[in-house]
């Protein structure tokens, strides 16, 4: 497993097959989802969130993730993870051979209710139970703090409160804490302030950021987090993405944009840009709509 051993390496966790597909009106079949993940692996992505074990009634696009996980198997040197909203999801993921899962706590009461139908207290209890069981069973559990800057229902979120939740999740034993700007409302000043404080409190190696590019601030926020010492980022190829339960959420920051930024700043990502751009074409064909990040035109002309 690759890790943040070198300060010059940025780890990209590709979330297109989960965050990217969960809000599309086109539902891809198992074969297409499999081809998509295979293509991402072929482009050098070593960390991929390949789906979620959630209610197929809540998110029909993610039905069949167990079959997908079984078909993909585990690959040496790669981390194929899945999101789980509760213990049932954790158990289904383990049955399918998944060894890295992500639990999500939203930083506001209303967002937890809308997302997983639980209160904040109940959500924290679920997170604790999944993290502790994962630790006992050798399953890595990443904890996400969603709407960590602003909530579509409750507005601005107090950073002191986010830090308190973060401390709790770290204490439970989360392998990583991912700070998520679910609706793309954060600005680089807020990101730098929060991520610097969290890096001081917990060390940057266990932290990651997840940005959405709703306001064209996605890459600026990645840069602010890099400046705070963060070296792990979620992104979606082609800028796919959005949360079906968070109105106004646009796509994730695009993987090709993040790779471009990091490599121009002298970091390595291990991602093969021409192959990644081919994945953008592949997923555009599958979804029947052109996809692509902010730099797509420039990259397509220059990265051949």
Binding site for Zn ion (CB under 5 A): 19
Between 19 and 150, CB nearer to Zn ion: 19
Stretch near ligand COA under the rule CB under 6 A, chosen from 28-36, 52-60, 74-82, 195-203: 52-60
Specify whether the CB–CB gap between 50 and 17 falls below 8 A.
yes
| 243: annotated active-site residue | yes
Q: How far apart are CA 117 and CA 193, in angstroms?
A: 31
# of chain residues touching ligand COA (CB under 6 A): 19
Q: Calculate the alpha carbon distances from 300 to 43, 157, 209, 280 in Å.
A: 15, 38, 26, 10
The residue nearest Zn ion at its CB is 19
Between 17 and 85, CB nearer to ligand COA: 85
Q: Which does 85 bind (CB under 5 to 8 A by kind): ligand COA, Zn ion, none?
A: ligand COA
81 touches ligand COA (CB under 6 A): no
88 touches ligand COA (CB under 6 A): yes
- Active-site annotation holder among 94, 151, 209, 243: 243
* Cβ neighbours for 27, distance < 8 A, ≥ 6 positions apart: 60, 61
Between 36 and 53, CB nearer to ligand COA: 53
Q: How far apart are CA 193 and CA 201, in angstroms?
A: 13
Between 69 and 116, CB nearer to ligand COA: 116
120 touches ligand COA (CB under 6 A): no
Among 74, 117, 119, 302, binds ligand COA (CB under 6 A): 117
Q: Tell me the three state secondary structure of residue 249.
A: coil
Q: How far apart are CA 200 and CA 214, in angstroms?
A: 28
Between 13 and 228, CB nearer to Zn ion: 13
Q: Which of residues 218-237 bind ligand COA (CB under 6 A)?
A: none
Listed in sequence order, the DSSP H helices in 103-158 are 109-116, 120-137
The residue nearest ligand COA at its CB is 89
Q: Which does 165 bind (CB under 5 to 8 A by kind): Zn ion, ligand COA, none?
A: none
* Eight-state DSSP code of residue 38: H
Exposed/middle/buried for 256, CB within 10 Å: 0-12, 13-18, 19+? buried
Q: How far apart are CA 91 and CA 271, in angstroms?
A: 32
Exposed/middle/buried for 38, CB within 10 Å: 0-12, 13-18, 19+? middle
53 touches ligand COA (CB under 6 A): yes
Q: Which of residues 94-113 bind ligand COA (CB under 6 A)?
A: 104
Q: How far apart are CA 125 and CA 64, in angstroms?
A: 27
Among 28, 116, 127, 148, binds ligand COA (CB under 6 A): 116
> Tokens 């994730």 — which residue?
252
Between 165 and 276, CB nearer to ligand COA: 165
119 touches ligand COA (CB under 6 A): no
Query: Residue 288 region, left (φ>0) first, then alpha (ψ -120 to 50), else beta?
Result: left
Per-residue contact string for residues 11-50; x = within reach of ligand COA by CB under 6 A: -----------x----------------------------
Active-site annotation, residues: 243
Which parts of this chain interact with ligand COA (CB under 6 A)? 22, 52-55, 58-59, 83, 85-86, 88-89, 92, 104, 115-117, 243, 245
């Amino acid at each position: 497993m690759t890790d943040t051993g070198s300060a010059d390496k940025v780890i990209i966790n590709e979330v297109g097959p989960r965050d990217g597909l969960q809000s599309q009106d086109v539902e891809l079949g198992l074969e297409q989802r499999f081809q998509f993940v295979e293509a991402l692996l072929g482009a050098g992505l070593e960390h991929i969130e390949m789906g979620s074990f959630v209610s197929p009634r809540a998110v029909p696009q993610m039905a069949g993730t167990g079959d997908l996980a079984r078909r993909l198997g585990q690959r040496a040197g790669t981390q194929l993870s899945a999101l789980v909203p509760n213990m049932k999801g954790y158990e289904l993921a383990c049955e399918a051979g998944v060894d890295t899962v992500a639990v999500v706590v939203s930083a506001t009461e209303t967002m937890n209710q809308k997302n997983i139908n639980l209160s904040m207290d109940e959500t924290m209890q679920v997170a604790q139970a999944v993290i502790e069981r994962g630790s006992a069973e050798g399953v890595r559990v990443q904890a996400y703090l969603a709407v960590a800057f602003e909530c579509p229902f409750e507005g601005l979120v107090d950073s002191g409160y986010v830090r308190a939740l973060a401390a709790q999740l770290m204490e439970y034993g989360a392998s990583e804490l991912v700070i998520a700007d679910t609706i793309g409302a954060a600005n680089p000043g807020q990101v730098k302030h929060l991520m610097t404080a969290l890096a001081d409190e917990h060390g940057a190696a266990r932290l990651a950021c997840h940005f959405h590019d709703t306001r064209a601030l996605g890459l600026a926020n990645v840069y602010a987090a890099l400046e705070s010492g963060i070296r792990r980022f979620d992104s979606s190829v082609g800028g796919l993405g959005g949360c079906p339960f968070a109105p106004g959420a646009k796509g994730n920051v695009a993987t090709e944009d993040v790779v471009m930024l990091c490599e121009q700043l002298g970091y390595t990502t291990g991602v093969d840009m021409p192959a990644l751009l081919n994945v953008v074409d592949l997923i555009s064909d599958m979804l029947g709509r052109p996809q692509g990040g902010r730099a797509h035109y420039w990259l397509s002309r220059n990265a051949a």
